[in-house]
Amino acid sequence: MIELVIGSKNYSSWSMRAWMLLRLTGLPFVETTVELYSPGARQRVMSMGGETGLAPVLIAEGAAIWDTLAITEHLYELRPRIWPTAPRDRARARSYAGEVHSGLNALRAAMPCNTRARNRTATISPEVEADIARVADIWSRAGGGWLFGDFCAADVMFAPIAARFRTYDVALPDAAQAYWLRLLSHDLSAEWFALGQADPTVIDAFELPMRTAD
């Protein structure tokens, strides 16, 4: 049995990715939720094998994996379909995933993940604009489908970014917007958003103000 340690289904973007990936594999798993910003949360995660004290953590056969890219690669070993079949596409998909993992820092700082919120205000600096433009460029390459044909881990990596763009009313070019709408409406995204809507956790630091009428 696989155990997935996650944070709030409304606020934890990396938990969303790991959860969607596991659901995509079809492997059975159980969930353990930790309120990450509460006293003692990091110690609790560390006690379960997550050495950084952050979520998500995948626990399989008694071994803990505490980084989402590492979780992705472990799941790939169990269910190769989560990455594209063609080596060239797989390499590009992993490059996108790595870019999301280590980049888009200005965007993430300006737009905290809050999947149930709408019409929120974010400070859009030139760095944030550059991150948005980069994401839009990647999404525009999807044509009428997913980034690499079948829905895969690369699409999953962008799902919380799609949620952020909805929360903060980010305008996108038509080609990117079409992909954005597909990603928001994917069954796994929609299920996670519904669970986030029902999550009672409120983290004030991630509740940015509502937009005011001009």
CATH code, 102: 1.20.1050.10
- pLDDT of the residue at 214: 59
Distance CA(183)–CA(177), nearest Å, equals: 10
**Percent of the chain at pLDDT above 70?**
99
- pLDDT of the residue at 113: 97
Rounded to an integer, the average pLDDT of 118-140 is: 97
CATH number for the domain including 17? Answer: 3.40.30.10
- pTM for the complete prediction? 0.96
Q: Please tell me whether residues 130 and 54 are part of one structural domain.
A: no
Q: Please tell me whether residues 11 and 69 are part of one structural domain.
A: yes
Q: Is residue 141 part of a domain?
A: yes
Strand (E) or helix (H) holding 13: helix 13-25
**73: containing domain:** 2-80
Domain stops at, among 80, 97, 128:
80
Q: Please tell me whether residues 126 and 190 are part of one structural domain.
A: yes
- C-alpha 207, offset from chain centre: 18
- pLDDT of the residue at 89: 97
